[in-house]
Amino acid sequence: MGFFSKDIKTMNDLFMHGLEDLYYAENQIAKSLPDMIEKATNPQLRAGFEKHLKETEGQIARLEQVFKLLDAEPKGEKCPAIDGILKEGKELMGEIGDEDVMNVGIIAAAQAVEHYEITRYGALIAWASELGRGACVPLFKASLAEEKATDQKLTVLAERRVNPQGEKTSEAGKKAAKGAASMARRSSKRQAQPAAKAKRNGAKKARRRA
């Protein structure tokens, strides 16, 4: 069943469906992360995935706490969206041969997952607040903070450490900026010289007239 269904008639139905959807998603992500860890050759990227696997296990435990707060049995609702994202990432990893390109591809696949989770946790926080289920909100927020932090770390790795082209572009940009600043200083100096010379000449004439 998709995220939006004709069976959802109330905000409570929507909230519970979202909760079950995310519980299913987190469990599927936990199953897929070991494959990403195995394929990653960059040490920092691999370590990041290993850390996030532990975080994901903690996120599953938090969702189970939410179910407990609601006196409901933890269960997942099959989610075609996360299944599609994970399948696409797996197929992508199977098509790449170069190690550097593999690392960049894995990051892209992982960030697609993170963005999905970020939107779902954000929605659950809003719905829990509207339904007066404040006790659930801190649990959702803790997981949301981890997802955002992971996404940011993946971006940093892609731009500065893993993506060779991104690193070159960054260095080229720094050199260009340094060169532009140097040219600006030289130009400013050249422009200042005639003015200073004219000022000195004017002072000499004034002394002669005196």
d(CA 50, CA 64): 22
The reported pLDDT for the residue numbered 96 is: 81
Q: Is residue 152 domain-shared with residue 198, that is, in the same domain?
A: no
Q: Is residue 27 domain-shared with residue 74, that is, in the same domain?
A: yes
Does some domain include residue 1?
Answer: no
Does some domain include residue 5?
Answer: no
For 106, 154, 190, the CA distances from 111, given in Å and listed in that order, are: 9, 7, 50
Residue-wise pLDDT tens digits, 13-66: 999 999 999 999 999 999 999 999 998 988 999 999 999 999 999 999 999 999
Does some domain include residue 6?
Answer: no
Contact 131, 15 (CB under 8 A): yes
Number of domains in the chain: 2
Q: Is residue 176 domain-shared with residue 198, that is, in the same domain?
A: yes
Read off the pLDDT of each residue in 69-92 and give the average, rounded to a whole number: 92
Q: Which residues, 6 or more positions from 2, have their beta carbon under 8 angstroms from its beta carbon?
A: 80, 81
Please state, rounded to an integer, the average pLDDT across all residues of the chain. Answer: 82
Question: Which domain covers residue 87, as residue numbers?
Answer: 11-162
